[in-house]
A and B are shown apart, each in its own frame.
Chain A
Amino acid sequence: MSDFQPIILKNITDLHNIEVYMKNGGYSAFKKALKLTPEAIIEEVKKSGLRGRGGACFPTGMKWSFMPQKTDKPKYLCANGDESEPASFKDREIFEKNPHQFIEGTLIACKAMGIKTAYVYIRGEYYPWIVMLQKAIDDAYAKGLIGKNILGSDFSTEIYIHRGAGAYICGEETALLNSIEGKRGMPRFKPPFPANFGLWGCPTTINNIETLANIPPIIDNGGEWFSKIGEPKHAGSLLYGLSGHINKPGIYELPSGTLLTDLIYKYGGGVKDNKAIKMIIPGGSSMPPLTAGEIEGLQMDNEHLKSVNSYIGTGGIVVMNEDTDVVKVIKRITKFYYHESCGQCTPCREGCGWMLRILDRIDKGMGRSEDIELLRDVANNIEGNTICAFGDAAAWPVKWAIKKFMPDFEKKVKESVELPIANKVHSLRLTVQE
């Protein structure tokens, strides 16, 4: 689909400027939504088939409908811009290039669920982008688009930015709630779900930045229009992030279901130095990696990726060439999870460190023959045994890399086993000669 027009990262200069944004039809969807009933907005989003862009791919309309319409408690919206998954860097592109579409989407979400306070959680490292978004929010306040009695209606809402301080786990929705409450970002048990018991025990919805940025075009053009973009089961466009050994890395907005080979060779300009591909991570470091044999004809959306036992995640694609040391890459990823584990659940806290130590000795040529089995065993015992999905995220890359790249692991272990034997034989020979 070469005639595809980007929905979020539109090709308009200075779109981050509120004047330019409004000249190009900005905030018209919000004005339209102000006249609609909450049910009608949620129905439209449901019809669009929009799924959450944070990795779990949960239908957004359904998530919104979980919020109680009648309650005495205040309700909250949290926009998740923690974006700490290695290889994903899409939200900062939205803050930089089209912050107002995200703000507009947030306002529509607030209207649909009757929310008076929205928090935008942004990772602490993104200071320059926090400044950019704050500027955009201030401009919108000045135009009377946020605040009390917006545009003369009886609808009021406030949007605040909450700056994180460097914790990957705060991208997990319940950890994010704890972080906003000023606590350590440790995930909570579910149930109760945030829609009933979220921020300060009040009904709360958490949406990804990209998800909210998709809302204005849905309200503008209708849910049906949106549902026809890309793959029906995972409708809309995705912000694919290309990085690693690739000629033109960056963010590409394309319809879901775009061929992975097209992404790499047509848009990404191919692999650096024309080398062959060894491994690909399809959607952020926690997603099971793919082999070169699996990429031919593979469409990039959640349904098709399931056929090769992987997921779309955040759409961050890492391309690795034939010279890449798989064990080193997996070790680095595991080191990340070891560093970022919040320490709440034993399997994850202890398991990540254990996996790192095993991988480290395999990488250094001191691995034992039983290490690969042990590694798989530890990974299997982390997966599914933790409060949040972090445990799965740490276990998957290890588990699937062993499954798909066994020869690389075996080679490293074998080399290390043979070395002492060789030494022994060598010394024996010397003794005999003497």
Chain B
Amino acid sequence: MEIKFTEENLKKLEEAKSHYPTNDAALMSALWLAQYQFGWLSTDVMKYVGNLLNIPYEHVLGVAEFYTMYNKKPVGKHHLQVCTNVSCMLCGGYDVVDYISNKLYISVGETTPDGKFTLIEAECLGSCGTAPMMQINDYYEENLTKDKIDAILDKLAKSE
């Protein structure tokens, strides 16, 4: 597969560049665009982004490695990020992890064989008042119960 931004993403990148006095500052926006288009940041993707912005690959790698939300390896279509920090832990965050882990037959950090779900433990997601919770890709699912998790996962499993 040729690694190349879509026209739309190139336009978005130009817009991001216009917000800052230097090209470097648009790197984080560029990595976000790349992650949305390619799913994860492979070495080739990072090299491509570096070339676009005229930044050495090593610097791109350094930034991508520093921030946890950039995926440095492929993830499932639905990235289940369960918060287990203090407030969620007190309200059963680890029970949610165990429940999903048992239900999907994967442990933390693994992806289901069909490539649909990846389960990870996340640090505080700023949703302490509605604990326990998880983030699925970009969206929050809050006040989780077993029934609610079942409903969410079943719906996602059926979706294409």
Contact = CB atoms under 8 A, between A and B. Distances in A.
Interface of A: 74, 83-89, 91-92, 123-128, 158, 160, 162-168, 179-185, 200, 241-245, 249-251, 281, 285, 316, 318, 320, 324, 329, 332-333, 336, 339-340, 342
A242 to B, nearest CB: 7
Contacts of B62: 184
Contact of A340 (B22, B28, B123): B123
Given A163-B32, A324-B90, A89 B126 contact: yes
5 contacts: A84-B124, A86-B85, A87-B87, A167-B67, A182-B24
B22 A200 contact: yes
B86 A165 contact: no
B140 A128 contact: yes
B125 interface: yes
Pick the 9 closest A-B CB pairs, nearest first: A165-B67, A166-B69, A243-B128, A86-B124, A182-B27, A243-B87, A166-B68, A127-B138, A184-B66
B69 A165 contact: yes
A124 B29 CA distance: 11
Given A125-B125, A243-B129, A86 B87 contact: yes
Interface residues of B, number: 41
Contact of A181 (B22, B87, B91, B130): B22
A329 B89 contact: yes
Contacts, number: 136
A333 B123 CA distance: 10
Given A162-B19, A167-B67, A324-B90, 16 more contacts: A84-B124, A86-B128, A87-B124, A89-B129, A124-B67, A126-B126, A158-B19, A163-B29, A165-B31, A166-B69, A185-B66, A200-B22, A285-B85, A318-B128, A329-B86, A329-B90
Contacts of A168: 123
Interface-centre pick from B29, B85, B122, B124 (highest chain A CB count, 10 A): B124
A339 B63 CA distance: 16
Nearest to B55: A182
Contacts of A167: 66-68
Given A87-B86, A127-B139, A165-B69, A316 B27 contact: no
B25 interface: yes
B149 interface: no
A183 B63 contact: yes
B126 A84 contact: yes
